[in-house]
Copies of this chain bind each other. A is one copy, B any other.
Amino acid sequence: MYYPEPIENLIINLMKLPGIGRKTATRLAFFLLNSDESYISELSRSLTDIKDKIRLCSVCYNLTEKDPCQICSDERRDRDTLCVVEEPSHMMVIEASYPNRYRYHILHGVINPLDGIGPDDIHINELKLRIEKENIKEIIVATNPNIEGNTTAHYISEILKGSQVRITRIAFGIPIGGDIIYTDSQTIKSSIENRKDL
């Protein structure tokens, strides 16, 4: 015994979304069944719009409607520094702390040999060319503090050896407002190794 086919189809399609099982998908499907037609058509259009209207910026690989993107076209931002991030969403997190300050380079992934992702599969070569072309003075590598993020950071510093650019990495340690008692040993190690004079 199943729901009528159009409802089953919707449930099955919703179940392909991350973190959504059959129960949640069914709940969402019934919510949608009881929603206004105008909301359904808006949601449906906004889904197809992201495929039709969104592309990657040819400079920084940010998601954008216009090329170059709003950030690359923003004259207020520091022209000497680039923040290198894994994903567009990571860029947004840095923007929230430093609005309109930095320009970015979005790798769209990290080096991950186990998944068969090498340096040529992410936008690393484009980063190197860009540093030369735009005469960048510093890159702040803001990849995640895990194996893939570290590997990627090291690879970037390797291929830029001999160039004049300063390469820095964001600091890892106990988060502000965190508590030493709840901090894992890797983080403690990082915060001891990277201690600063008071």
List A residues at the B interface (Cβ < 8 Å): 1, 3-7, 9-10, 13-14, 16-19, 24, 26-33, 37, 39-54, 63-65, 69-70, 87-89, 92, 95-96, 99-100
Are B95 and A54 neighbours in the complex by a CB distance under 8 Å? Answer: no
- Contacts A1-B99, A13-B39, A26-B89 hold; do A33 and B50 have CB atoms under 8 A apart? yes
Q: Say how many copies of this protein the assembly contains.
A: 2
Query: Looking across the interface, which residue of chain B has its beta carbon closest to that of A11?
Result: B46
Most B C-beta atoms less than 10 A away, residue of A7, A14, A16, A30: A7
Tell me the dominant secondary structure on chain A's binding face: helix
Are A18 and B27 neighbours in the complex by a CB distance under 8 Å? Answer: yes
A24 / chain B contacts, CB cutoff of 8 Å = 19
Are A4 and B46 neighbours in the complex by a CB distance under 8 Å? Answer: no
Neighbour of A6 across the interface among B28, B29, B42, B53, CB < 8 A: B53
Are B1 and A63 neighbours in the complex by a CB distance under 8 Å? Answer: no
Chain A to chain B: the 9 pairs with minimum beta-carbon distance, closest first: A10-B46, A6-B49, A1-B95, A13-B43, A9-B46, A44-B44, A6-B53, A44-B47, A4-B65
